[in-house]
């Protein structure tokens, strides 16, 4: 797992200068204008008080307006003209900092946002303190900012319902569980305590226990994790034989979490696994189709039940979708699908493909034309230093 994460971070660091050189970003990123009718879509994950407030203030000071999901859809369909200086703010995963930090700031600036939820990972729970509480000396900043590094990093349904009622935030689908699935018996790592904290668990493939799929917090420690891919891709899922897990899980159970304080814990588990034939079966295309349909349809049902509003918009996890997911998304009623970079489409224009909406990272928001426009070199330097820091700390973004 760490090797895969490091490889992804290294690849992303190279992709930025390459994509700038090849013109895969909107022109405003490299200093150009924002033509009339162009509506850039920005993607956020976690939000932090100072930088997020600075970005919203930049939009407000330069007369930018934010669109709701329905308003943006109407622009795409050419049912209404795009307002001058319109942008779309999207937030992936439904992370807890959106309630604690982002929402108070969105209210203060009167900004709208679209949140792509993972309802299969969302739980009940009372609303947490917010940055307003910190400012009014009713809460501790350290505890608030540490929320996403613990066992429950996502928004609660109560927080989601409160934001939905405000009219500022639209809640749409990021699939039911944001799942990865094993695709071959090639070993990638083992379930460890670190993979139960924060968002690391979203990199853990689903583990089938014979009756149902387990998410990372439920997966027995020591469980082997194999090569995986996003569930919304075309790969067929590999179901490893349960005997592959037994020896490793039992070895960890002898010591509990203390086993992972051993410097050689992973080497011990690899040796155990090396004695066992790596066997299993792969799902059929029909089984893959049913699993993807469940991810897309049940997400809609759950979000609609909690917000009381229809869900028409989808964001693909890891920006990954195959022909099967794209077909099923239309079948179950999604009007749009939000992606990352889209080949040949730096920015999706009115009349463009609503099921392949291009988005640009939040780092480039302050490259929009306006007073106080940020320097591109400084933005790139910050991005790379952040990725190097994440690499050293063993944490990284999954999207």
**What does the pLDDT read at residue 391?**
42
pLDDT of residue 222: 97
pLDDT at 398: 41
pLDDT at 392: 39
2-176+291-393 domain in CATH 3.90.1150.10?
no
Residue 76 and residue 351 in contact, taking contact as beta carbons nearer than 8 Å: yes
Which pLDDT score, from 0 to 100, does residue 131 have? 86
The domain ranges of the chain are 2-176+291-393, 181-230+242-278
pLDDT confidence of residue 138? 79
Mean pLDDT by 10 residues, the chain (399 residues): 57 68 85 96 96 97 98 98 97 97 96 98 91 82 86 92 96 98 96 94 94 95 98 97 92 96 96 93 98 98 97 97 98 97 95 97 97 93 69 40
pTM of the model: 0.92
Q: What's residue 145's pLDDT? A: 86
């Amino acid at each position: 797992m760490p090797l895969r994460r490091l490889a992804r971070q290294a690849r992303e660091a190279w992709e930025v200068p390459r994509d700038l050189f090849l013109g895969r970003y909107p022109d405003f990123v490299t200093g150009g204008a924002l033509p009339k009718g162009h509506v850039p879509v920005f993607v956020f994950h976690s939000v932090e008080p100072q930088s997020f407030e600075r970005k919203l203030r930049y939009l407000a000071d330069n007369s930018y307006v934010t669109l709701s999901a329905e308003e943006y859809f109407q622009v795409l369909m050419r049912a209404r003209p795009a307002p001058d200086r319109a942008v779309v703010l999207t937030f992936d995963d439904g992370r807890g900092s959106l309630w604690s930090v982002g929402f108070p700031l969105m209210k203060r600036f009167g900004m709208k946002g679209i949140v792509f939820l993972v309802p299969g990972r969302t739980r009940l729970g009372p609303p947490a303190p917010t940055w307003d509480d910190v400012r009014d000396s009713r809460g501790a900043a350290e505890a608030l900012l540490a929320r996403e590094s613990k066992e429950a990093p996502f928004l609660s349904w109560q927080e989601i319902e409160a934001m939905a009622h405000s009219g500022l935030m639209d809640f749409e689908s990021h699939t039911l569980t944001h799942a990865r699935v094993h695709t071959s018996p090639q070993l990638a790592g083992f379930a460890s305590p670190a993979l139960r904290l924060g968002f690391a668990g979203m990199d853990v493939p689903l583990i089938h226990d014979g009756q149902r799929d387990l998410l990372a917090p439920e997966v027995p420690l020591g469980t082997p994790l194999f090569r995986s891919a996003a569930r919304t891709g075309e790969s067929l899922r590999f179901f490893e034989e349960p005997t592959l897990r037994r020896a490793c899980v039992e070895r960890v159970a002898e010591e509990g979490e203390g086993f992972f304080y051993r410097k050689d814990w992973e080497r011990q588990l690899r040796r155990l696994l090396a004695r066992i034939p790596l066997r299993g079966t792969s799902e059929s295309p029909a089984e893959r189709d049913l699993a993807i349909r469940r991810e897309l349809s049940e997400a809609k049902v759950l979000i609609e039940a909690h917000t009381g509003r229809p869900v028409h918009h989808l964001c693909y996890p890891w920006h990954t979708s195959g022909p099967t997911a794209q077909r099923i998304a239309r079948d179950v009623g999604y009007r749009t699908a939000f992606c990352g970079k889209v080949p040949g489409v730096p920015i999706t224009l009115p009349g463009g493909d609503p099921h392949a909406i291009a988005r640009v990272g939040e780092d480039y928001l302050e490259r929009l034309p306006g007073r106080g426009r940020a320097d591109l070199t400084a933005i790139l330097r910050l991005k790379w230093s952040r990725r190097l820091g994440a690499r050293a700390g063993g944490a990284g973004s999954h999207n």
